[in-house]
Amino acid sequence: MNDLEIIGLDYSYGREVKALDGVGFSVPSGSVVGLLGPNGSGKSTLIKNVFDLLESQAGTIAVGGSPHTTPEAKREAVYLSSNDYLPEFLTAAEYVAMMAGFYGLEVDREDAADLFSRFAMDGRYDDLIENFSHGMRKKTQLIVALLVRRRLTVIDETLNGVDLEALHLAEKELAGLRDEGRSVLLCTHDFPVLERIADEIVFLDHGRVVFNAPTAGLVDEYGSLERMVYGYLEAGER
Amino acid sequence: MNDLEIIGLDYSYGREVKALDGVGFSVPSGSVVGLLGPNGSGKSTLIKNVFDLLESQAGTIAVGGSPHTTPEAKREAVYLSSNDYLPEFLTAAEYVAMMAGFYGLEVDREDAADLFSRFAMDGRYDDLIENFSHGMRKKTQLIVALLVRRRLTVIDETLNGVDLEALHLAEKELAGLRDEGRSVLLCTHDFPVLERIADEIVFLDHGRVVFNAPTAGLVDEYGSLERMVYGYLEAGER
Amino acid sequence: MNDLEIIGLDYSYGREVKALDGVGFSVPSGSVVGLLGPNGSGKSTLIKNVFDLLESQAGTIAVGGSPHTTPEAKREAVYLSSNDYLPEFLTAAEYVAMMAGFYGLEVDREDAADLFSRFAMDGRYDDLIENFSHGMRKKTQLIVALLVRRRLTVIDETLNGVDLEALHLAEKELAGLRDEGRSVLLCTHDFPVLERIADEIVFLDHGRVVFNAPTAGLVDEYGSLERMVYGYLEAGER
Amino acid sequence: MNDLEIIGLDYSYGREVKALDGVGFSVPSGSVVGLLGPNGSGKSTLIKNVFDLLESQAGTIAVGGSPHTTPEAKREAVYLSSNDYLPEFLTAAEYVAMMAGFYGLEVDREDAADLFSRFAMDGRYDDLIENFSHGMRKKTQLIVALLVRRRLTVIDETLNGVDLEALHLAEKELAGLRDEGRSVLLCTHDFPVLERIADEIVFLDHGRVVFNAPTAGLVDEYGSLERMVYGYLEAGER
């Protein structure tokens, strides 16, 4: 089964800019898919379509088998955006409760506090988010995703710049989601992370899917994801 | 009719701190009520209770006549928090559409763009919020409230620090909400703004309502709201 | 003596926009001068000229009697900008030491910690600034100015939005600077604060000084600073 | 010659925490040295000592052959901190001029505007920094370093999270500094970047240098920097 299935997605801003041009790919249950692309490749437009923040213009998107605009679909996916979209006026605990409420869940306080502690934010669970550094805000976003454990987790550059140990732990936790049969769409240009945990890679450019293949095969072919990407960008085949 | 009615609201964090202690007051339709209080007075706890971000422990809260935890109540109130709780990855237009969607409304693009222009953000309606200054983010929050025009608008210090002309325009626009029979709960310590547009004042300290009276009467009695507040704080009756 | 003296200051961005047009006024020792103006009035350009962040094009600026580009002048003035220009990677204590070093001073640790405590940031003196909320950052800026106690303190909207009690304390502390014979140029549109502590008002519009007079006289004539300002803005004499 | 030479550097916060314990290493002219370490390893304390933001307690630091507290040393090094330590009230052009002034340089406007354009910030050179996104602020920091071209450039995680193409360009530009005989101390845990451009690696843990060796040798021995680091962290030899 596919937790996310996108077919023939088009999107244009105004008349001329074709931001997405027939994009299609899948995120199978129990997998991590890496999403890569330069500035302006369409990644953000794609994610906004998936979360119905932009009204899709052509093509279909299904989350957990349901059309992406339905309540069923919306309950099955969680989105980690940049670290700054957090309600500063809430404590971490209040934010966790708000997000749990959104998904109709109860979150065990001890589980949550334990994750805060493992991500080196011991004792900060009842602090106001306005007193959190950028790194702590990123980790808070990730922890919420790990607590609500949706079928599909979409991570949009959220982990860039977190500390070495948090990144290492994050990787294990994302692998844990996958091992439970959940899936992750991971947007990052941290190539080694992708090489370690992404089963497949989707590489976008100019609104089209340029590569969509198992990570291992791409690494075999190009030597590394990085060589693949920079080779492509410099080849001027664009 | 009261757009907001709070009766006997208690709230404690842990066992000992009584953040709210029997708070009760009303925001009548067609009025602006100013909410004042020093740090730690309970204002934030109060607002979080109203918007169900903290589970109320005792007392009742009704929004538009419905218990505050019901979907009916949630559709009738809009909350303007600090300027930083905005999705940076969206454009202003996308954010407006997201908020309109939340309330089940359609927002006319021209109305929205016109408000952006009147608040000196001409031509920024399709820009990403990540490129907005703090002042522009505050104004964006206010514009959304003016577009969705709920029965009750709660403004939590959002307007502190916006420029002179935006503040002047904001005042007129809030008066416009009131004149349509809507209501505003306005948390600010900009005393002259309160003296001009607040019909009533609620002053909290240590989780209790200290003053709750028509603004005109308080100004008559104390000379100004400022004298009332600072007089109180310095009198040590606390 | 005048701690700041500006004569015939012009400034243009490019050829056409005349951002400052013959601006002149003084800040006498032992006084607080309020600087007011709508968006685009030239306030920011003026302050950037004073601190040599823009190269002045015509006119003269003297700080403590010395031309504003000299080391003597630079040692005599401190600038409080928006709250976000703080080195997040330092603790408050390290930041205070850095600023003291800039002015060739030693700051007593106890004095500093005491001010942090009085501004309700007890025990935060050795915390990283990246963990400070916006309000705490504003207060940190102010505390630094109170510690380095320069001849001239220029405050650019820094106090907007700090809490009621901090604002009250700030007012007393600024009056303390004045009582020691120092001076403050206070940019804010918190009219009551200006009415209480500003000896004189300078009101700019379109790069020119529109009003420059003792506060008491302006309040007598117009009823309040607010009426003066909004009356002017609405009169369309601009 | 060494652009940075550190010998026997100790630093303690309070009596017990030994944040740096006999740290010594060099950054030779014409080289890039990668600085790595987990949270709390002492990296930040080290950099603060180098830039005299913490008063060194034991050991010596020389920049360009001069003791690090001298004006000569301070003129030879530039520090790129987190992206948020930028004066929001200035335009990029004004900020560049301020930094150039600090180093006693003139920056050619065309060179600067050209770098802005190459880093995909075409036409933003005269915009206020308050309207820049996080990514643009990071790139602005880097551009300033490339314009002032000091003997030693210290980059503290500044490039984390910039877009793919900016990172690629940054790498080339840093290599350009090196090729001119300048040097870069690059703190990042982007391992592939380090493997490509760092001549040597310094890995800190618990305030001590654990590894300090040519990158090529470490990669030969451990397979990759990443395996070296995570292997070390997991081995529990700490």
Please report, for residues B116, D104, D170, the alpha-carbon distance to residue D181 in angstroms, rounded to integers and kept in the order given: 51, 21, 17
- Asked if D130 lies within 8 A of B131 by C-beta distance, the reply is no
Rounded CA-CA distance B201/B26 in Å is 11
Return the partners of chain C (3 or more C-beta pairs < 8 Å). Answer: A, B, D
For residue B238, the model assigns a pLDDT of 63
For residue D235, the model assigns a pLDDT of 83
- Lowest average pLDDT, out of A187-201, B211-225, C82-96, goes to C82-96
Place of tokens 């502690």: A117
Residue D66 above 80 pLDDT? yes
Which residues of chain B does A97 touch, with a Cβ-Cβ cutoff of 8 Å? Answer: 53, 55
For residue A7, the model assigns a pLDDT of 98
Interface of chain B toward chain D, CB-CB under 8 angstroms? 88, 128, 130-134, 136
Return the partners of chain B (3 or more C-beta pairs < 8 Å). Answer: A, C, D
- What's the one-letter identity of residue B96? V
CA distance C212 to chain D (A): 25
Return the partners of chain D (3 or more C-beta pairs < 8 Å). Answer: A, B, C
Under the banding of pLDDT at 50, 70 and 90, the label for residue A236 is low
Residue B23 above 80 pLDDT? yes
Q: Which of A160, A164, A165 sits opposite D161 (nearest CB)?
A: A160
Return the higher-pLDDT residue of B184 and C16.
B184
pTM equals 0.88
For residue A121, the model assigns a pLDDT of 94
Closest-CA residue in chain D for A169?
D230
Rounded CA-CA distance C160/C152 in Å is 20
Q: Which of B82, B120, B161 sits opposite C39 (nearest CB)?
A: B120
Instruction: Specify the DSSP element, H or E, that contains D160.
Output: none
Which residues of chain C does B190 touch, with a Cβ-Cβ cutoff of 8 Å? Answer: 190
| Average pLDDT for C3-29 | 93
For the stretch D122-158, pLDDT in tens is: 999 999 998 998 889 999 999 999 999 999 999 998 8
Q: Which of B85, B90, B130 sits opposite A53 (nearest CB)?
A: B90
Which residues of chain C does B39 touch, with a Cβ-Cβ cutoff of 8 Å? Answer: 120, 163-165
Residue D95 above 70 pLDDT? yes
Closest-CA residue in chain A for C132?
A131
For the stretch C50-99, pLDDT in tens is: 999 999 899 999 999 999 999 999 999 999 987 778 998 899 999 999 99
| Average pLDDT for B185-213 | 95
Q: What is the pLDDT of chain B when averaged over all its residues?
A: 93
| Average pLDDT for D7-22 | 90
For residue A16, the model assigns a pLDDT of 72
Residue C8 above 80 pLDDT? yes
Residue D161 above 80 pLDDT? no
For residue D16, the model assigns a pLDDT of 72
Residue A235 above 90 pLDDT? no
Closest CA to D188 of A158, C5, A190, A172: A190
Under the banding of pLDDT at 50, 70 and 90, the label for residue D56 is confident
| Average pLDDT for A201-206 | 96
- Asked if A81 lies within 8 A of B98 by C-beta distance, the reply is no
Query: By percentage, how much of chain A surpasses pLDDT 70?
Result: 98
Residue B15 above 80 pLDDT? no
Give the count of Cβ contacts less than 8 A between chain A and C.
Answer: 13
For residue D49, the model assigns a pLDDT of 96
Which residues of chain B does C134 touch, with a Cβ-Cβ cutoff of 8 Å? Answer: 82, 84
Residue B56 above 90 pLDDT? no
Which residues of chain B does A156 touch, with a Cβ-Cβ cutoff of 8 Å? Answer: 89
| Average pLDDT for C104-119 | 94
CB B95 within 8 A of CB B140: yes
CA distance A123 to chain B (A): 15
| Average pLDDT for B195-199 | 95
- Asked if D128 lies within 8 A of B130 by C-beta distance, the reply is no
State the pairing for strand pair B77-80/B2-13.
unpaired
For the stretch B80-103, pLDDT in tens is: 987 778 998 899 999 999 999 999
| Average pLDDT for D106-120 | 94
Residue A2 above 90 pLDDT? yes
- Asked if B88 lies within 8 A of A85 by C-beta distance, the reply is yes
Which residues of chain B does A39 touch, with a Cβ-Cβ cutoff of 8 Å? Answer: none
Under the banding of pLDDT at 50, 70 and 90, the label for residue D237 is low
Rounded CA-CA distance B205/B211 in Å is 9
Residue D17 above 90 pLDDT? no
Which residues of chain C does B141 touch, with a Cβ-Cβ cutoff of 8 Å? Answer: none
- Lowest average pLDDT, out of A74-88, B202-216, C173-187, C212-226, goes to A74-88
Residue of A39, A43, A158 to mutate for D, most D C-beta atoms under 10 A: A39
| Average pLDDT for D65-79 | 94
For the stretch A129-149, pLDDT in tens is: 989 988 899 999 999 999 999
| Average pLDDT for D194-203 | 96
- Asked if A131 lies within 8 A of C130 by C-beta distance, the reply is no
| Average pLDDT for D189-195 | 91
Place of tokens 């000992």: B16
For the stretch D22-40, pLDDT in tens is: 999 999 999 999 999 988 8
Q: Which of C39, C226, C229 sits opposite B163 (nearest CB)?
A: C39
Place of tokens 């990246």: C130
For residue D15, the model assigns a pLDDT of 73
Q: B22: helix, coil or strand?
A: strand
Closest CA to C48 of D91, A230, D214: D91
Q: How far is CA B119 from the centre of its chain?
A: 19
Query: By percentage, how much of chain C surpasses pLDDT 90?
Result: 79
CA distance C82 to chain D (A): 7
Q: Which of C38, C120, C160 sits opposite B39 (nearest CB)?
A: C120
Interface of chain D toward chain A, CB-CB under 8 angstroms? 36-39, 82, 84, 120, 134, 157, 160-161, 163-165, 167-168, 189-192, 224, 226, 229-230, 233
Residue B136 above 80 pLDDT? yes
State the pairing for strand pair A58-63/A2-13.
antiparallel
Which residues of chain B does D134 touch, with a Cβ-Cβ cutoff of 8 Å? Answer: 130
Interface of chain B toward chain C, CB-CB under 8 angstroms? 36-39, 82, 84, 120, 134, 157, 160-161, 163-165, 167-168, 189-192, 224, 226, 229-230, 233
Closest-CA residue in chain D for A231?
D168
For residue B237, the model assigns a pLDDT of 60
Closest CA to B49 of B85, B25, B30: B25
Closest-CA residue in chain C for D52?
C98
Under the banding of pLDDT at 50, 70 and 90, the label for residue B236 is low
Residue of A82, A85, A160 to mutate for B, most B C-beta atoms under 10 A: A85
Q: What is the pLDDT of chain C when averaged over all its residues?
A: 93
Give the count of Cβ contacts less than 8 A between chain B and C.
Answer: 52
Closest-CA residue in chain A for C131?
A131
Return the higher-pLDDT residue of D40 and D111.
D111
For residue A189, the model assigns a pLDDT of 87
* Residue C216: other Cβ atoms inside 10 A: 13
For the stretch A43-74, pLDDT in tens is: 999 999 999 999 989 999 999 999 999 999 99
CB proximity list for B22: less than 8 A, separation 6 or greater? B8, B9, B10, B59, B208
Residue of B53, B56, B95, B155 to mutate for A, most A C-beta atoms under 10 A: B53
- Asked if D38 lies within 8 A of A189 by C-beta distance, the reply is no
- What's the one-letter identity of residue A93? A
Enumerate the β-bridge partners of residue A60. Answer: A7
Which residues of chain D does A157 touch, with a Cβ-Cβ cutoff of 8 Å? Answer: 161
Q: What is the pLDDT of chain D when averaged over all its residues?
A: 93
Q: A60: helix, coil or strand?
A: strand
Return the partners of chain A (3 or more C-beta pairs < 8 Å). Answer: B, C, D
CA distance D185 to chain A (A): 18
Q: Which of D55, D87, D156 sits opposite C81 (nearest CB)?
A: D87
* Two structure tokens written together for C143: 């505390």
CB B194 within 8 A of CB B225: yes
CB C220 within 8 A of CB C234: no
- Asked if B134 lies within 8 A of D130 by C-beta distance, the reply is yes
The HSE-up count of residue A222 (CA atoms within 13 Å, CB side) is 19
CB B48 within 8 A of CB B23: no
Rounded CA-CA distance D51/D42 in Å is 14
For residue C184, the model assigns a pLDDT of 98
Under the banding of pLDDT at 50, 70 and 90, the label for residue C15 is confident
Residue B163 above 90 pLDDT? no
- Asked if B160 lies within 8 A of C161 by C-beta distance, the reply is yes
- Asked if C128 lies within 8 A of A130 by C-beta distance, the reply is no
Query: By percentage, how much of chain D surpasses pLDDT 70?
Result: 98
Which residues of chain C does B164 touch, with a Cβ-Cβ cutoff of 8 Å? Answer: 36-39, 189, 229, 233
CB B95 within 8 A of CB B144: yes
| Average pLDDT for C122-149 | 93
